[in-house]
Amino acid sequence: MAYTRGEPDALGWREIIAAADEAHLGHRFPTESTPLLIMHHLSDLHVCDAQSPTRPEYLDRWADPDSPIREKVGTIGTYRPQSMLSPHVVEAMIQSLNKITQGPLSGHLVDGAIITGDTTDNAQFNEVSWYLALLDGLVFSPDSGDSSKYEGVIDDTPENYDTRYWHPHGTPDGCIDDDARAKYGFPIVPNLLNSCRKTFKATGLRFPWYAVHGNHDALLQGTVAPEVSINQAMVDGKRFTGLPSNVSLAEVLASFQEIGPASYPEAFDAPYVEVTADVERRAVERGEYAAMHLASKGLPVGHGFTQDNVEKKHMYYSTLIGGVKLVVIDSVNHFGGWQGSLDVEQFEWLEQEVANTDRPVVLASHHPLSKMFNSYAPIGKRVCVEQIEEMLLRYPSVIAWFAGHEHRHHIKWIGPEKEVHGFWQIETASHADWPQQSRTIEIVTDIAGDIYFGLSVIDHAGGAHYGGATNPIEIAALSRALSANVWQKRTELGSSHDVNWWCGRPEDRNVVLKIARR
């Protein structure tokens, strides 16, 4: 079952409606084939502790339709109305993928799954724990701070009420309706802030799965390298609601950079509300991310990471799966900035991995090649897009690169000669934003030795209707509806592109690609 957006009501709100599955474009998939790799591709889960006190959601209003600097700031992304529902979306996706044990086009058994980074939103220990619990099928509570109440920016206490955020329980006495409901048609969902924090047993992914490190798994808000003062604020009991008086908005926005350095402002006299401190919100240290995967009960052990990753504190590895060599890159610049690059040591390792193999090579990273331009390096040197591409194109073993990061479905040929000399870069959409999809990738050879890629997008198990949003699947359906109606992405309100940009073109979704025999 596929889903799309219905017609807008008077305030622009669109309900989710069921739709027919899209036909596959491109080449005809071979009727007889030999499998190389059949893999589910998930990306950008953004499992989020939306109650974390250091999240600067207040910055996001400068991208709202009525902001005088909207065109300058573009998308900020520090606030999503559906952020607290992120664990339930992952649960719903896992339930969908568990039903797909064979490639939809080839019929070959699925070898496993890969998650191309940004598994978490703010690089916190509790977020990593929740994400692993979801994949491993454990009982957990997607809650932090005070377990008796919700303490994020969308709580419904009159003293903390802010009309710039969606408040699902309605308007407190003595307050006016928030913008999301009054201007943009967002619904009232009674008791949601309690339902979304309830303990539940995750289903668990029933395939071997492999992990990839993303910028949101290493950097605060995917941008800022953790440091002592920020780490302390993450676990303390102050949720900041605005900027300190000693910095300007322009200075703060300039400090959240694509290319490092990047920093948070010092708290100084910034306004805040008191919340419950929680040591589980601490930043995950380098190497610890791999160690937590090694402790996971799922298969394979470590999900690609080994003790070497823990000890050397690097997040890249290679493994054999199906008929290919899977080479996982850590594209995060740990010095700061949200775009990617490689250090020299990893770049040299990568060349050795693609040069010394008798199998086709599939690369996987969080950032796509086009976003590997973060050259910031106070120590050493970073290797960026031009040098990486030039090196990879010397090795015909490379046939594909899986990535995420931009939250969109996107397909691009990398190379000078289409379908002959080069490889396919396959980006898959996120769980955080519309359309909240993953995909299944089938890589096979036909009897002539040509390589085919069958790409099929997958919707999570949340349906078109969210009912009372009282269980994980209904909550996931609500998250899908919220993500489809984000007011900052409505063209009628002046956005340069709407949420369907994340869906990509038809040829970026269900498509059959080809590489001629090598």
Q: What is the pLDDT of residues 415-448, one digit of tens each?
A: 999 999 999 999 999 999 999 999 999 999 999 9
The answer, yes or no, to whether residue 466 has pLDDT greater than 90, is: yes
Cβ atoms of residues 121 and 127 within 8 Å: yes
Q: What local confidence, expressed as pLDDT, does residue 71 receive?
A: 87
The answer, yes or no, to whether residue 317 has pLDDT greater than 90, is: yes
Q: Which domains does the chain have, with CATH numbers?
A: 1-143+166-220+282-513 (3.60.21.10)
Q: What local confidence, expressed as pLDDT, does residue 314 receive?
A: 96
Burial 123-134 (b: 16+ CB within 10 A, else e): bbbbbbbbbbbb
pLDDT digits (tens, 9 = 90+) for 385-411: 999 999 999 999 999 999 999 999 999
The reply to whether the predicted model has a pTM over 0.85 is yes
pLDDT digits (tens, 9 = 90+) for 110-149: 999 999 999 999 999 999 999 999 999 999 999 999 999 9
Q: What local confidence, expressed as pLDDT, does residue 226 receive?
A: 87
Residue 4, H or E segment: strand 2-8
Q: Left, alpha or beta for 452 (phi > 0: left; psi -120 to 50: alpha)?
A: beta
Share of the chain above pLDDT 70, in %: 100
Which residue type is seen at 506?
P
Q: What local confidence, expressed as pLDDT, does residue 312 receive?
A: 96
Tell me the pLDDT of the chain averaged across its residues. Answer: 96
**Position 253 confidence tier, pLDDT thresholds 50, 70, 90:** confident
The answer, yes or no, to whether residue 1 has pLDDT greater than 80, is: no
The answer, yes or no, to whether residue 340 has pLDDT greater than 90, is: yes
The answer, yes or no, to whether residue 228 has pLDDT greater than 90, is: no
Q: What local confidence, expressed as pLDDT, does residue 152 receive?
A: 96
**Position 80 confidence tier, pLDDT thresholds 50, 70, 90:** very high
pLDDT digits (tens, 9 = 90+) for 142-194: 999 999 999 999 988 999 999 999 999 999 999 999 999 999 999 999 999 99
Cβ atoms of residues 150 and 168 within 8 Å: no
Q: Left, alpha or beta for 195 (phi > 0: left; psi -120 to 50: alpha)?
A: alpha
The answer, yes or no, to whether residue 36 has pLDDT greater than 80, is: yes
Q: What local confidence, expressed as pLDDT, does residue 498 receive?
A: 92
